[in-house]
Structure formats: C-alpha cells, structure tokens
Chains A and B, each alone.
Chain A
Amino acid sequence: MKKQKFDINYDRCVINVENVSKSFGNLHVLRGVDLKLYDRENLVVLGRSGTGKSVLIKLITGLLKPDAGEIDVLGQVVNQLNDRELRALRQRIGFSFQNSALYDSMTVRENLEFPLVRNKRNLTRAEIDKEVEDVLDGVGLLQTINQMPSELSGGQRKRIGIARTLILRPDIMLYDEPTAGLDPITCLDINGLINEVQERYKTSSIIITHDLACAKMVGDRIVMLLDGKFERQGTFEEIFDTDDERVKPFYDYNFTEEN
C-alpha cells in the first residue's frame, strides 16, 4: 500500500539535526549526522538494529546529550535549554516508545490523564474527562478506559501509548519501532493510525523502523542510517534502487519471492 500524500510545507523545518555525533565508550553510534524534518512530513529512519536510530530520537527529545553538533527543534537548540525550557518543549513533542512504556500501576484513564493534569493545571475535571475520552475514541479504544495495561494486547498497548502522547496535541511525533513485535494485521492498523495522526493532528513525524512495509506505507521520505551516517535518502523506490550490499539485503528479505 502506497502512502497518501498530505500538504508538506518544505519551507518550514521543524527539526534540524546538524553534524551530531554520539558515542558510548568506544562505540561510535552516530558520526556527524545531518537531518531535516519538514512541517507535516512523515520521515522514516531505516537501519539495522543497534545502528543508533533510537539514540537519534532520544537526542532530539533531550533524553541523551550529543557529544558534538546541534539539534534544533521548533526553533530551539535542545542541548542549550535548561530543565524548565526543555520540559516546555517536550510538551510539543510526542514520543511513542517501542514497548509503549505505559505506567503499569495506573489504569488507561490515569495513564492519559497523567501528562494532561501536570501540564495543563487549569483544566476542570469535566474537561479532562472529555479530552481523555476524545483521544481514546480517536485510537478506537474507548472501551478500555478503565482497564489496566496488563489486560491489553500488544497492539492495544501501542495505540494507548500513541493516545497518551496525542493528549497534549504535539506538533511533532516520534515513533520508536511502532510495529515491532506485532502481527501483520495489527501492523497495518498501526501504520494506518500513524497516517491518520498526521492528517488529523497535522503533525510532523519521525518513524524509526526496520519494517519496510511500515516504511512504504507511512513514509513521505525515507533516510537510511548506515555506519553512523545517513547515506541514502529519498522515496521508497529511490532508496532501494541501488546495488549497495548494505542496503539490498533489507529489500531482498522483505520483498523477494522466497520471503
């Protein structure tokens, strides 16, 4: 299934990563990477496991600090912000974790309320309830509102995780392996949801994945992380029109007849 195109504003860059490097001890994960995310664009970051894809989005949210380079998010340089400024910026960024990271001691309702009541303290009880119900309804899981995370399936947990980030109406969404560990039908649902979020909430998104079906379905543009650098970028077809032995196995594994 090909990606439906929305109006991307290429004049407005919402994330600008410039010459960023990050190492863990002797392991050099990112080696001077550059990346731009445009307004209302879905950008897919492809790469093998352990190549630093998740590190990249943790750098963008300030969970990790770069060793070198600069990360500009919505006009603010992340690594120069103090705690208070960083928290304010993070309210405009939604982060969907690979394992959903739902608070397992809280119900679905409490999970969604958690960021809302702490960031918008002037809301009334009725307003909070309405927001929670609207967002849950948006991901099609209103019936789970009083359930505990342990009672949900993997796909439902992913959806609730996405709903929890949407409750603050972010400008940017970061998805870390949104389809990892899910069956193909649920993967399709999640991919559909990512596109729906882009359309309904007018978000710009970075989707970290190694699932090519997901990349093809949700990505307006794809970049490939190879040996700590973005060496290829373009549409799905452009990325895989190559004889590069580091790239071909990705396509062959997913789309050749034997598989």
Chain B
Amino acid sequence: MNEALMGKKFINLLLEFANIHRFFMRFLREVLSPPYEFKEIIRQCFEVGWKSFPLISLTGFIVGFVFTKQSRPSLEEFGAASWLPALISIAIVRALAPLVTALIASGKVGSQIGAELSSMNVTEQIDAMEVSGTNPFKFLIVSRIIATTIMIPILCFYVAGIGLMGGYLSIISKDQVSMLSFFTQVFEAIKFIDVFAMVLRAVIFGFTIGFVSTYVGYFSSKGTEGVGKAANSAVVASMFIVFIEELLIVQVLSLI
C-alpha cells in the first residue's frame, strides 16, 4: 500500500517536472515572438518596483545599520575598526543586497502575482482572454517574468545604496567620518567581480520569483482555497529556490 502511494507520488512529481519544463519552453517561445506587450511590461515593472519600494527601503537601511553595529566590536578587538567601510561594502554588495531584495520581493511581489493569477483563473478571466483570441500567456506570464527579471536587479542596486547609507549612519553615531572618505573606502574595496556577482544573483533571483509565482498562479486549483494556496506556494517555493540558487552561485563564484 505504502509502495503504491510512493509510486503515485513519484509519478506525480515527474509529471510536475514535465509541466514546469513545458511552461519554461513556452516562455522562451513567447518571449521572443511578436507582438510584444510593452505597455503591460512597463505597468508590471511599475507594480513590482513601486509596491516593494517602501518595505525594501526600510529593510535595506536596517540591514546596513545593524550589520555595521554588530561587526564593529569584533573589528575593534583586533584594532581594525577603520576597516569597517570595506567590510560592510563587500558584505552588502556580495551577499546581503541581492538576498534581502529577493526575499522581500518573494514575499511582497511573489504572493501578489500568485494570488492575482490564481484569482483570475478561478473567475475564468484567463479563459475569457483565451477565447477572445488573445494570448493570455504572453500578456499575463511573459510580462510579469520580464518585469521581475528587470526590476529585482534595479531594486538590488537601490538596497545596496541604502544599506551602505545605513552603515554610514551607524559608523558616524560613534566616529567622526566624512561621507566622502566613507564612500571612497567603500568603492576601493569593491571589485568588478563583486558587482558582477550581485547583478548575476539579482537577475537569477528576479527570474526565479517571476517564474515560480506565475507558474503556481497559472496552474492553481479552482476555488477560493486555491487562491490562498497559490499565494502561499509562490512565497515558500520562491524563497526556497532562491536559497538553493544562492548556495550554488556562491560555490561557482568561489572558483573564479
């Protein structure tokens, strides 16, 4: 009995992977073929950017401020407090900014995309687009995936900037350091590969959030329960995959 159940679950898992593969291949096909939904892509970019802006600003600032505050005693112990700007710049640009941006966006944007598409599915709005001779995949899915892939890197640069500002404010709460000298040390510490790694991470995370949330929303089960499940799955699955990707990217970049 247990074996039969496990066998069924395994087959369902394989079918799910096959469906994800079909969804991805359809995305590649639709993203390249005209007509392009530029207006909807811009609208979605605005939604993704603007809706996450306040929360991302607050989180970015707090992460920078707290990280600096917590790092100071360890550096002071070795008489290396002057290295603080270099340390926080590397930490924020290499790791914290893309990860914080992706996690906030998973919660804020992912849940919204999942719930919105699922609710459109439940109320047959997606079917209505389909039967009116429109391509709902291009309008709803492609535009959202492109929007998150473009906007998460932009938000990531913003988080890095505001995180460094938080770090600077934390430093000047104890030391007398000019903004110019702080940012000179910051930019001296950051190398091209660090910025490249940040952008690479952000692009991958942005695509992941868009892809996962549209997938769970588009294929959600019918009924109001399906809307809640889709919103929840979009967040949980996006965050989980973002962490796995972070782990893999760190391994790959450490080889360079």
Contacts and interface: CB of A to CB of B under 8 A. Distances in A.
A118 interface: yes
B131 A63 contact: yes
Nearest to A60: B131
A122 B17 CA distance: 41
Given A95-B128, A95-B132, A114-B129, 17 more contacts: A61-B131, A63-B127, A87-B133, A88-B133, A90-B131, A90-B133, A99-B123, A101-B123, A101-B124, A101-B127, A103-B125, A104-B123, A114-B134, A115-B132, A115-B133, A118-B35, A121-B35
A88 B131 CA distance: 10
A99 B134 contact: no
A57 to B, nearest CB: 9
Contacts of B123: 99, 101, 104
A99 B124 contact: yes
Nearest to B124: A101
Interface string A105-127: 00000000011001101000000
Given A97-B128, A101-B124, A115 B134 contact: yes
A98 B134 CA distance: 20
Contacts of A97: 124, 127-128
Interface residues of A, number: 25
A119 B134 CA distance: 7
Nearest to A90: B133
A87 B128 contact: no
B76 interface: no
A91 B125 contact: no
B175 interface: no
Contact of A87 (B120, B124, B127, B135): B135
Nearest to B130: A63
Nearest to A91: B133
Contacts of A102: 125, 128
